[in-house]
């Protein structure tokens, strides 16, 4: 089994990089890194990644299609083995809910959107 993957730490409120106490770009480790990567995967629209325009969640879908797309996006994150998207609200062109997932080491986590 490979070592747990780290990722760049993002500020929750603005989804931008964070500096550590030495002024370097901060990193996060699993399980937080995995949760952040799942959140990034479901927030990426199809065609948005300039280096791989085949990744992302398509625009303009039914609720069932969005659930399926979020589930598929979560599974693209290394180590994620199960996923379940639950939509809890849809109002004023905004959707809320959560993606519940587990990793190959048995950790279960929820990401809210």
For the segment 90-104, the average pLDDT, to the nearest whole number, is 94
Query: Over the stretch 42-60, which tens digit does the pLDDT of each residue have?
Result: 999 999 999 999 999 998 8
Instruction: Select the CATH number that applies to the domain covering 30-112 from these four: 3.90.1170.50, 1.20.140.10, 3.40.50.300, 3.10.450.40.
Output: 3.10.450.40
Average pLDDT for 80-84? 97
The set of residues, in sequence order, having a beta carbon less than 8 Å from that of 61 and lying 6+ positions away, is 69
Q: What is the pLDDT of residue 2?
A: 57
| Average pLDDT value for the chain | 93
Positive or negative, the CA dihedral 11, 14, 16, 20 is negative
Q: Which residues contact 106 (CB under 8 A, 6 or more apart)?
A: none
pLDDT band at residue 5, thresholds of 50, 70 and 90? confident
| pLDDT value of position 61 | 84
Q: Is the pLDDT of residue 1 over 50?
A: no
* Annotated domain spans of the chain: 30-112
Contact 76, 101 (CB under 8 A): no
């Amino acid at each position: 089994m490979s070592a747990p993957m780290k990722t760049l730490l993002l500020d929750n409120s603005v989804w931008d990089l964070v500096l550590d106490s030495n002024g370097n770009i901060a990193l996060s480790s699993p399980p937080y890194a995995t949760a952040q990567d799942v959140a990034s995967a479901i927030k990426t629209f199809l065609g948005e990644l300039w280096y791989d325009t085949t990744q992302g969640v398509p625009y303009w879908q039914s609720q069932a299609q969005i659930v399926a797309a979020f589930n598929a996006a979560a599974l693209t994150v290394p180590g994620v083995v199960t996923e379940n998207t639950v939509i809890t609200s849809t109002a004023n062109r905004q959707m809320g809910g959560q993606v519940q997932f587990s990793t190959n080491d048995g950790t279960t986590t929820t990401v809210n959107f």
